[in-house]
């Protein structure tokens, strides 16, 4: 018995080996497989392009801050736990213009900054606040108890109390 024949799946009884139907089926499978390979190769090429673009952005940042940066494949660079001076250095290096700020969810005395630069979301997570800001702790009454809250108030905020 031929060893190749024992390892192959037999064709259905109504399809003769070498028939045009079987050959068309093989071509269809090959075409689908080739299409999948091309798609995977394109995904790898796109990932490499994103990494190259991220490296170009990081080249703008002072070298000692790169160790605080994390790359997320979805097009995001995260700089974590920066001092105010280091956050300013990243902001200046990125030339983003407008940065949005919000209180850090884990540490409300710190700020998260976000901007978009060359299609990348740049986030400074848990960065030091500006000197013009201060943390205010206040009590918020709710039914049956009082909750301690914290917020950051910066110079010029209308709600400074």
DSSP-derived 3-state class of residue 134: strand
Query: What is the chain's pLDDT, residue by residue, as a tens digit (161 residues)?
Result: 444 444 555 555 565 666 788 888 888 888 888 889 888 998 888 888 888 888 898 999 999 999 889 987 678 999 999 999 999 999 999 999 899 988 898 888 899 999 999 989 999 999 998 888 877 878 888 888 888 887 778 776 655 44
Cα–Cα distance, 117 to 105 (Å, whole number): 24
Cα–Cα distance, 119 to 15 (Å, whole number): 54
Paired strand residues for 140: 147
Q: Which helix (H) or strand (E) holds 152?
A: strand 145-154
Per the structure block, which two tokens stand in for 24?
């068309």
Cα–Cα distance, 127 to 109 (Å, whole number): 9
* Domains in the chain with CATH codes: 19-128 (3.30.460), 130-161 (no CATH)
């Amino acid at each position: 018995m031929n060893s190749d024949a024992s390892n192959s799946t037999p064709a259905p009884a109504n399809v003769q080996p070498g028939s045009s139907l079987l050959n068309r089926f093989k071509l269809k499978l090959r075409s689908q497989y080739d299409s999948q390979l091309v798609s995977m190769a394109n995904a790898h090429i796109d990932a490499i392009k994103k990494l190259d673009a991220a490296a170009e952005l990081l080249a703008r940042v002072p070298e000692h801050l790169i160790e605080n940066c994390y790359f997320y494949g979805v097009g995001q660079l995260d700089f974590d736990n920066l001092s105010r001076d280091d956050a300013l250095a990243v902001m200046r290096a990125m030339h983003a213009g407008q940065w949005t700020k919000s209180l850090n969810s884990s540490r409300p005395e710190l700020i998260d900054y976000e901007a978009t630069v060359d299609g990348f979301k740049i986030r400074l997570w848990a960065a030091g606040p500006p000197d013009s800001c201060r943390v205010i702790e206040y009590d918020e009454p709710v039914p049956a108890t009082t909750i301690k809250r914290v917020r950051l108030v910066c110079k010029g905020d209308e709600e400074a109390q």
